[in-house]
Amino acid sequence: MFHNLEIGFAAAVTLQNLGFCLIGALLGTLIGVLPGIGPLATIAMLLPITFELNALSSLIMLAGIYYGAQYGGSTTAILVNMPGESSSVVTCLDGYQMARNGRAGSALAIAAIGSFFAGCVGILFIAAFAPALATVSQRFQSPEYFALMLFGLVAAVVLAHGSVTKALAMIVLGLSFGLVGTDVTSGTMRFTFGVSELFDGIDFVTVAMGLFGLAEILRNLEQKDEQPQISTIGRLWPSRSEMREAWPAIIRGTVLGSILGILPGGGAILSSFASYTLEKRISSNPSAFGKGAVQGVAGPESANNAGAQTSFIPLLTLGIPSNPVIALLMGAMIIKGIAPGTAVMVKEPTLFWGLVVSMWVGNLMLIIINLPLIGLWVKLLRIPYRWLFPGILVLCCVGVYSVGNSYVAVLLTAGFTLLGYLAAKLGCECAPFLLGFVLGPLMEENLRRSMLLSDGDPLILLQRPISAVLIAAALGLLALTIIPSIQKTREEAFQE
C-alpha cells in the first residue's frame, strides 16, 4: 500500500496537478456555497473544458469539485438555513440553530474538522480495500459484470427517493436512450431516424448538461430571489465541551459514511441522512436535536464527506458508478479512452493512485482555505441568482456546441433540459435515468458476450455462482420493496 501511495504522491504533487486540485477544491466550495447549482450541474457544465487536459488532471479537478461541494454546502446551511448542496440539508436543522444562538463559528469549525477527518479516513478506505476488491473483480467475466450492473441499477431504484415505479421508469428510459446509435456487432443503425449526428449515439455531455445543468437553471428561476439573512459568525473555534460532544459523532459518521458510500445509490446524501437518524436515536437527549445539537452537525458533515470519498471505490475497481456524480466522472474517463474497472489499477497505476492521493491533498487544501475565506463566501451569498444564470447559460451553450461543432447537439440539450424539468415536476428523479444511460451500453455489451460464450443459452447467468448470487440479490431487493410492510417502512424512512 505504501509503495502505491508513493506512486500516487509522485503523480499528484506535480505543480500542474496541484493547480487543478486547487481549482477543483475552490470551485467545489463555491458551488457548494451558492444554493441551487450543485456539483452534478457544475461537473456536467465543465466536462467540455476538460477535453484539452490529460486524464489525471481532468479527473483531479472534477473530483475536487465533488468533495469540495460537501465542504461549501455546510456554510450556507449553517449561516442562512439554506443548503448549498443536497447532502447538507440535514445540517440546516441544528447548524442554523447553533448560528442563531451565536455559535455559527463553532458550527462551521466542527463541520470543517469533521469533513477533513472523514475525508482522510475515506481515502485510507480506498487505499486499503480497493486492491482487494480489484483482485476479486479479476474473477469477473461478462456474465458477472452484467449481473453486477443489474444489481447496481436495482439498488439505485430502491434507494432513490420517492416512488419505486417512477425510478424504474426513469432507468428504463435511460437504458433506451443509451441504445441510440450504431450496433457494434451488426453495424445496424438503431433509433437514429436518419440523423447522421446520432450514428455514434447520443453524446454523454449533451445528456448531462441538459438534465442537470440547464434544467437546474429553470427550476431555480422559479424560486423567489430573496436576500438571505446571514447570521453573525462569532468565534471560529469550538469550545472543549463542544469538541467532546462532537468527536464521537464524527467517528460514527465517518464509519457509517465510508460504508454507505460504497453502496450503489448511496454516497453523500444517504450517508448524511442516515448519520443524523443514528445520532438522534442513540442520544441521551434527543429533544436537543433541532435546537442546536453539536452531534447534529458533526455526524452528518463527517458522513457526507466520507461517503463522497468511498463512492469512488466501485468506479475505480468494478467500473460501476454508485451515484450520478460518479456516473459523470465515469463518462469523463470513457471520453478520455479509459475503461473504468480493474484495468485502471493494473494498466494505469499512476492515474489510479494519483487520483487517490489528490483527494487527500484536496481535503488538506479545503481545511486551509475554507475557514479563512468564510467572509468572502458570505459576500458571494448576497449576489442575486438572476445575475448569475445568464453567464451559466452561455457557458453551457458554448460547451455543448464545442463538443462536436453541431447544432443537433444544442437541440438535443434543449430536449433533455425539457425532459429534466418535466421529470422534476412529475416527481421523477433524473439520477436513475443517468445511471441507466451510462450503464445501458455496457450491460448490453456484456449480455451479448455472455450469449456468445454460451451459444445463446441465457442460463449461463445462473450457472455461474457469482452472477447467480448477484441476480438473486437484485431480484430479492426488488421483491422486498413490493412487500407492503417494507414499502411503508421505506416511505417512513425517507419522510423522516
Cell numbers found for residue 272:
448524511
Q: What is the DSSP letter of 231?
A: P
Mind spelling out the 3-state secondary structure of 361-412? HHHHHHHHHHCCCHHHHHHHCCCCHHHHHHHHHHHHHHHHHHHHCCHHHHHH
Contacts of residue 167, defined as CB under 8 A and 6 or more positions apart, other chains included, come to: 156, 157, 160, 428, 429, 432
Is residue 268 helix, strand or coil? helix
| Rg value, the chain, Cα | 22
pLDDT tens for each residue of the chain, 496 residues long: 778 788 888 888 899 999 999 998 888 888 777 665 667 777 777 777 777 788 888 888 888 888 787 777 777 778 776 665 666 777 878 888 888 787 888 888 888 888 888 888 888 888 777 777 767 766 778 888 888 888 877 877 766 666 777 888 888 898 888 888 888 777 788 888 888 878 878 877 788 778 877 777 787 777 665 555 555 566 667 788 888 888 899 999 899 888 887 776 556 677 787 788 888 888 888 888 878 888 888 888 888 888 888 888 877 777 777 777 777 788 788 877 787 766 677 778 888 888 888 888 888 888 877 777 776 766 666 666 677 677 777 767 776 776 667 778 888 888 988 998 898 888 887 777 877 887 788 888 888 888 888 888 888 888 888 888 888 888 887 777 666 655 555 555 555 5
Helix%, strand%, coil% for the chain, nearest 5: 75, 0, 25
Nearest Cα residue to 438 out of 153, 154, 195:
153
pLDDT at 382 (0 to 100): 66
d(CA 317, CA 206): 27
CA dist., res. 440 & res. 229, Å (int): 45
Helix locations, 197-339, DSSP H: 204-208, 215-221, 240-260, 268-282, 295-310, 312-318, 324-335
- Give CA–CA dist 246/401, Å, rounded: 48
How many other C-beta atoms are found inside a 10 Å radius of the C-beta of residue 169?
17
- CB within 8 Å of 84: residues ≥ 6 apart: 31, 32, 33, 34, 35, 69, 72, 73, 74, 75, 76, 77
Sequence ranges of the domains in the chain: 2-495
Against a cut of 0.75, is the pTM above it?
no
Q: What does the pLDDT read at residue 251?
A: 92
The pLDDT value given to residue 6: 84
Q: What angle do CA 473, 137, 302 make, to 5 degrees?
A: 75
Q: Are the C-beta atoms of residues 75 and 84 closer than 8 Å to each other? A: yes
Residues 130, 318: Cα–Cα separation, whole Å: 10
Find how far residue 268's CA is from the centre of its chain: 7
pLDDT attached to residue 231: 52
* The three grid cell numbers given for residue 216, joined into one nine-digit string: 437546474
